[in-house]
Structure 1
Amino acid sequence: MHSIEQYREEFITHLEQKVGTREPKKLYDPIVYILGLGGKRLRPVLTLMTTEIFGTDYKKALHAALAIEVFHNFSLVHDDIMDDAPLRRGQRTVHEKWDINTGILSGDAMLILAYQLFENYPSDTFRELAELFSKTALEVCEGQQYDMDFETREDVTVPEYLHMIEYKTAVLVAAAMKMGGIIAGASLKDQNLIYEFGKNLGIAFQLQDDYLDAFGDPKTFGKQVGGDIIENKKTILYLSALQLGSAEEQKEILDLYSIQPQDVAEKIKTVKTVFISSGAAKHTKTEIGNYTEKAFEVLNVLNISDEKKAMLKQFGENLMKRKV
């Protein structure tokens, strides 16, 4: 088995070889730009790692890993347009650097390029990969729609939120791992088990992201701490505070989320205090632990060696200890 860093380096080399600018430049330059902004490369790394875990040379999965990363970044380009976001990974978003029409069209091209990458596989493998990819891509779109719907709803529940992040975030992590199983020729049972592992880990990952946005260390988090609070986002912390807090705490949160004060630092500080006093922060940490544990339970029935199970568990634990 290789290290996470080795998978990442191999993937970046492959990405740089396969993704280059060509004519028309205004279509392809934004694609090169967004894919070059970095990020954790979590999903492609998982595809490569899973392929090797099921006993096949991970390099056979490089095309599928790239497809997952291209699709993920396509969704970010379009999300940024919908959110009117000025920055992505500390750099200007595609629609800010070029324009909205370019962002839409380059994003469309990325979705098509992702499908094209599966053409590098034999027909049976191609069919399985494309089938999983289509299902996943549609679920990601559904998750994004739920997220947009929540912006104007005042009655969103924690279960609804968990369903939304399952579709918007977790299914792509799950699919990245199942693709590794498909390429390696793993049994359907093991493919579905590794999918469940990835899905639960993906939910835990997003909940951890919500938690770090409020309680992360500004030196290591990589973006502004309290960004979700400033934007009045209905994260699990907010929804749990409304569910678990006293009438006074509920009123305070609702009042704070209805204003855009000049002093955002004071708003962040007060909201975080309510997140703690209401039990929302503790509840979120518990849910992160629950979904991580659900992922680890899958390993008990997965048909791989104990050494490989330990590697997957270590990966999950490291992901939950992250500060970025």
Structure 2
Amino acid sequence: MGEAEMLDYNVPRGKLNRGLAIVETYRLLKEGDELSEEEIFLACVLGWCNEWLQACLLILDDIMDNSHTRRGQLCWYKLPEVGLHAINDGVLIKCHIHRIIKRYFRGKPFYENLMELCDEVGLQTSLGQMLDLIVTHEGEKDLSNYTMAVYRRIVQYKTSYYSFYLPVACALLLAGENLDDFIDVKNILVEMGIYFQVQDDYLDCFGDPKVMGKIGTDIEDYKCSWLVVQALERANDNQRRVLYENYGKSDSVSVAKVKNIYEELNLQDVFFKYGLASYEHLISSIEAQPNAAVREVLEWFLRKIHCRQK
């Protein structure tokens, strides 16, 4: 397949929440000001850059996780005519992001900060992926390595920065703000990312693949997921033995045994209680923000996340 077909297959078929978040955040930050066509266009350009980054990361992540489906279709690398050529496709998408930013933002006062932001978030996400792989390898030797502290560290780097902080930071730069003035906002967005990933881990196990658009494989892939961490914290000796013997195996019997332990430990109820507590904590943190526009931005993000849990 050519480059156009590759981009069409991988970039625009998701919910586009990350890209739309940049446009919506910028609109909220500029509330009261009439946005010019150029301002709207540039916000959309950055939105698409975020979606291209998402596509790049998903292509590579699916290969590393040996995933089968994504967004209701076969993973890109699973297509017979693509295979491991998908690795180069992912790298190519990442390179295009820099070209797009140079084309449309060179000469803007925030250009250097924007490039540094994108590079830094790209590095953080790659480090998160590396940590995920290292921890998974260690977990195969000893499942007790999976702790909440380790889980939070993986998620912060692998998910929170690019999915939550990056869209808001891009919009702040577009609005002429200094990112150093919004460290508290960054911390809230990191917590939102963890809240989001916990939901994702729950849905990987208990969600409907037809609704999710993918088949969950966290158990088979030996992932340090929120569910297995919670199970290890609560399991008795017999339940822990079952987890050690069956977690990370791809046969349906082993997967069923792990899910049965999750149900015995009532992790579905644990998840909903966690979600309520996290939501209330985030609401409290958001209400403490002095900037009304920033509060509205964070509330918009939280609504997007919280509706997944209902």
Partners of 1:262 and 1:193 lie apart in 2 by: 44
1:256 to 231, 246, 251: 246
C-alpha displacement at 1:190, in angstroms?
5.0
Gaps of 5+ in 1: 1-24
Distance change in 2, residues 1:73/1:221 (3 Å):
closer
Please give the residue correspondences for 1:48-59 in structure 2 after superposition, counting only pairs within 5 Å: 48-55=23-30, 57=35, 59=40
Q: Which residue of 2 aligns with 1:130?
A: 115
Equivalent position SS for 1:251? helix
Segment of structure 1 superposing worse, 208-217 or 189-198: 189-198
Query: 1:290-313 CA deviation, whole Å, 9 max, x = no partner?
Result: 54445434423434337x735642
**Amino acid aligned to 2:166:** A
Correspondence 1:110 to 2:100: no
**d(CA) in 1 for partners of 2:24 and 2:185?**
12
| 1:317 aligns to 2:303 (yes or no) | yes
- Which secondary structure state, in structure 2, belongs to the residue aligned with residue 228 of structure 1? coil
Check whether the contact 1:78–1:107 (CA below 8 A) recurs between aligned residues.
Answer: yes
The CA deviation at 1:274 is: 3.5
Q: Which residue of 2 aligns with 1:34?
A: 10
Aligned partners of 2:297 and 2:49: how far apart in 1?
A: 25
2:235 to 245, 249, 267: 245
Paired residue for 2:160, among 170, 176, 201? 170
Aligned partner of 2:177 in structure 1 is 186
Give, in whole Å, the separation in 1 of the partners of 2:236 and 2:253: 25
Shift in Å, 1:286: 4.5
Deviation at 1:183, TM superposition (A): 0.5
Root mean square deviation, CA, Å = 2.8
Per-residue deviation, 1:239 = 1.3
Q: How far apart are residue 82 of structure 1 and its match?
A: 1.9
2:291 counterpart (304, 311, 321): 304
Matches within 5 A, 1:143-292: 143-153=128-138, 154=142, 155-172=145-162, 173-188=164-179, 190-216=181-207, 220-224=211-215, 227-257=217-247, 259-263=249-253, 266-267=256-257, 269-276=259-266, 280-292=267-279
Aligned positions, number: 294
Structure 2 residue identity aligned to 1:115: H
In structure 2, C-alpha distance between the alignment counterparts of 1:54 and 1:189, rounded to whole Å: 17
The alpha-carbon deviation at position 88 of structure 1 amounts to 1.6
Aligned counterpart, 1:79:
61
* 2:126 equivalent in structure 1: 141
TM superposition shift of 1:100:
3.7
Q: In structure 2, how many angstroms separate the alpha carbons of the residues matched to 1:75 and 1:219?
A: 22
Shift of residue 207, structure 1, vs aligned partner: 0.6
Q: TM-score, normalised by structure 1?
A: 0.79
Instruction: Give the secondary-structure state (helix, strand or coil) at the position aligned to 2:110.
Output: helix
Judge which range, 289-298 or 27-36, deviates more: 289-298
- Secondary structure of the residue aligned to 2:2 is helix
Partner Cα distance (1:215, 1:199) in 2: 24
1:127 and 1:294 mapped to 2: Cα distance? 35
Name the CA shift for 1:291/1:124 in 2 (closer, same or farther; >3 Å): farther
3-state SS of 2:67 partner: coil
Any gaps of 5 or more consecutive residues in structure 2?
A: none
Check 1:262–1:170 CA distance in 2 against 1; reply closer, same or farther (3 A cut). closer
Q: What SS is found at the alignment partner of 1:185?
A: coil
- Check 1:223–1:256 CA distance in 2 against 1; reply closer, same or farther (3 A cut): same
**2:246 and 2:258 in contact (8 A); partners too:** no
Q: Name the structure 2 match of 1:5.
A: none
- % same residue: 22
Q: Secondary structure at the match of 1:152?
A: helix
Q: Aligned equivalents of 1:218 and 1:28: distance in 2?
A: 28
Q: What TM-score results when the alignment is normalised by the length of structure 2? A: 0.83
- Per the alignment, do residues 28 and 258 of structure 1 end up closer, same or farther by CA in structure 2, a change over 3 Å counting? closer
**Structure-2 separation of matches of 1:88 and 1:228:** 14
One-letter identity of the residue aligned with 1:30? M
Report the secondary structure of 2:137's partner residue.
coil
